[in-house]
């Protein structure tokens, strides 16, 4: 029996709990530390099953009816017994709290998997767990396995699209773990997506695509906004324009250039798990994209994104204005672009497009990360860039020193 502790209470945690609890030979437990989520979820499933509906192109929907063995806000309860794997499905800004709360109950040989880990995940684990991090197998994946959403809190969720493959990396604990981390996580998630684990963890930090996908679309849509309310909520991904697609591609070029520069300076390090975001779309959404011709058409015609809206705030008169306090900026800047900028700085790679978005976003957020073109702003400690943890050289960010 594999015991998995799923951390979170949002869309990803709901779907992961439903899928994991339906796998033979797996016990799913949910740990959610946010407000009263654990109590609400536990009460919702007390006398009801939990249903996850899986949608896939050209197939009838599949319903999984199951539920986790427990939903709790107590780390000691969630971690009792022989827990095999902890799966993070929470936003990056919440990782610190979970890592701190779980630390007293983590045992050598366990597996910690970030699904996604998002940029700087390994820096946070090392910074908070210290020497304990060396005794745990740390896995990080480039994104959530699914495009998904909660339909009814604690009772129902749906998967709009499942990635064909999910690329990640692992640093195995010392001594070697008794069970293979990749095989264990695959058992927890089921047959899909196919987990592809290769290369260095830093490559997955650089492939935290949401960290530049969301801000690029936000910038492209709103950087020239005239301040006038809109009558309707615009579509986010499928409403992409060509300017945003070009900006996103240029930022991806900067990320790829960073990986190449690091491998040139440290040939023993494998960062071939870093690819351009166009190749990422071809791989992750192979069955969901109608037109794979360009990055612009890939996003515009991705069925898994159908109907997903821009984050907006509705006004009293029924009109809408953009919500710049949404995670597409509040999370994806300090736990995305700022991290990548920090790594690029160490690697000696210029990032004019990344800088453009950081400078725009930090004004909207009332934050300060970049000052005069350098990462020395007062809010840098709130980010996960390597400099925030005192990692200022290639060897330290790669774990070689």
pLDDT (mean) for 294-313: 95
Phi, psi of 286, rounded to the nearest 5 degrees: -55, -35
Rounded CA separation 283/189 (Å)? 18
Token code pair at residue 48 = 């009801």
Domains of the chain by start residue, with CATH: 2-198 (3.40.50.720), 206-397 (1.10.1040.10)
Does 176 have pLDDT greater than 90?
no
pLDDT (mean) for 151-169: 93
Q: What are residue 72's DSSP bridge partners?
A: 31
Do 68 and 41 meet the contact criterion of CB atoms below 8 Å apart? Answer: no
Output the CA–CA distances (angstroms, integers) from residue 256 to 85, 164, 224, 358, in the order listed: 31, 22, 28, 18
Do 79 and 5 meet the contact criterion of CB atoms below 8 Å apart? Answer: yes
pLDDT classification of 112: cutoffs 50, 70, 90: very high
Q: What is the pLDDT of residue 104?
A: 98
Q: What is the pLDDT of residues 238-276, one digit of tens each?
A: 999 999 999 999 999 999 999 999 999 999 999 999 999
Q: What would the DSSP string read from start to end of 103-152? A: GGG--TT-EEEETT--TTHHHHHHHHHGGGGGGSEEEEESS-SEEEEEEE
Rounded CA separation 337/343 (Å)? 10
Q: Catalytic residue at 276?
A: no
Q: What is the pLDDT of residues 339-380, one digit of tens each?
A: 999 999 999 999 999 999 999 999 999 999 999 999 999 999
Q: What would the DSSP string read from start to end of 227-273? A: S--BSSPPBSSTT--HHHHHHHHHHHHHHHHHHHHHHHH-TTS--TT
Q: What is the pLDDT of residue 292?
A: 97
Element (H, E) at 215: helix 210-222
Tokens 């990344």, residue located: 354
Determine how many CB atoms are found less than 10 A away from the CB of residue 74.
13
How much is the pTM?
0.88
Output the CA–CA distances (angstroms, integers) from residue 90 to 52, 127, 143, 276, in the order listed: 18, 18, 12, 25
Burial per residue of 141-153, b for 16 or more beta-carbon CB atoms within 10 angstroms, e otherwise: bbbbbbbbebeee
Determine how many CB atoms are found less than 10 A away from the CB of residue 261.
18
Q: Tell me which of 15-29, 53-67, 315-329 is least confident.
A: 53-67
pLDDT classification of 183: cutoffs 50, 70, 90: very high
Compute the half-sphere exposure of residue 347: CA atoms within 13 Å on the CB side of its CA. 27
Q: What is the pLDDT of residue 222?
A: 98
Q: What is the pLDDT of residues 2-48, one digit of tens each?
A: 999 999 999 999 999 999 999 999 999 999 999 999 999 999 988 88
pLDDT (mean) for 180-187: 97
Active-site entry in 200, 214, 223, 310? 214
Q: What is the pLDDT of residue 138?
A: 96
């Amino acid at each position: 029996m594999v015991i998995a502790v799923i951390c979170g209470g949002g869309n990803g945690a709901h779907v992961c709990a439903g899928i994991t609890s339906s796998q033979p030979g797996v016990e799913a437990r949910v740990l959610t530390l946010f407000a009263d989520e654990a109590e609400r979820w536990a009460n919702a499933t007390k006398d009801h099953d939990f249903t996850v509906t899986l949608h896939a192109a050209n197939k009838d929907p599949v319903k999984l009816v199951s539920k986790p063995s427990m939903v709790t806000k107590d780390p000691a309860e969630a971690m009792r017994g022989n827990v095999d794997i902890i799966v993070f499905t929470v936003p990056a800004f919440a990782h610190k709290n979970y890592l701190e709360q779980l630390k007293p109950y983590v045992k050598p040989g366990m597996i910690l998997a970030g699904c996604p880990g998002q940029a700087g995940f390994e820096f946070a684990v090392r910074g908070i767990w210290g020497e304990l991090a060396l005794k745990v197998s740390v896995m990080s994946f480039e994104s959530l396995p699914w495009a998904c959403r909660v339909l009814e809190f604690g009772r129902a969720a749906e998967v709009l699209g499942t990635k064909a493959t999910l690329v990640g990396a692992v640093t195995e604990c010392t001594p070697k773990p008794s069970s293979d981390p990749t095989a264990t996580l695959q058992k927890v998630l089921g047959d899909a997506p196919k987990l592809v684990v290769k290369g260095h963890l830093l490559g997955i930090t650089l492939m935290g695509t949401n960290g530049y996908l969301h801000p690029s679309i936000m910038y492209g849509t709103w950087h020239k906004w005239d301040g006038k309310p809109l009558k309707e909520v615009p579509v986010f991904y499928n409403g992409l324009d060509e300017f945003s697609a070009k900006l996103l591609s240029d930022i991806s070029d900067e990320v790829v250039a960073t990986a190449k520069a690091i491998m040139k300076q440290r040939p023993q390090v494998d960062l071939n798990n870093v690819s351009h975001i166009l190749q990422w779309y071809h791989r992750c959404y192979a069955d969901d994209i109608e037109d794979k011709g360009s990055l612009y058409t890939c996003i515009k015609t991705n069925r898994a994104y159908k109907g997903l809206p821009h984050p907006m705030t509705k006004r009293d008169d029924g009109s809408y204005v953009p919500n710049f306090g949404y995670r597409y900026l509040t999370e994806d800047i300090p736990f995305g672009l700022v991290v990548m900028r920090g790594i690029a700085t160490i690697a000696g790679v210029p990032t004019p497009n990344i800088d453009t978005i950081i400078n725009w976003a930090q004004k909207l957020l009332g934050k300060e990360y970049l000052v005069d073109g350098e990462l020395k702003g007062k809010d840098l400690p709130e980010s996960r860039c390597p400099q925030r943890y005192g990692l200022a050289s290639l060897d330290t960010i790669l774990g070689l020193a």
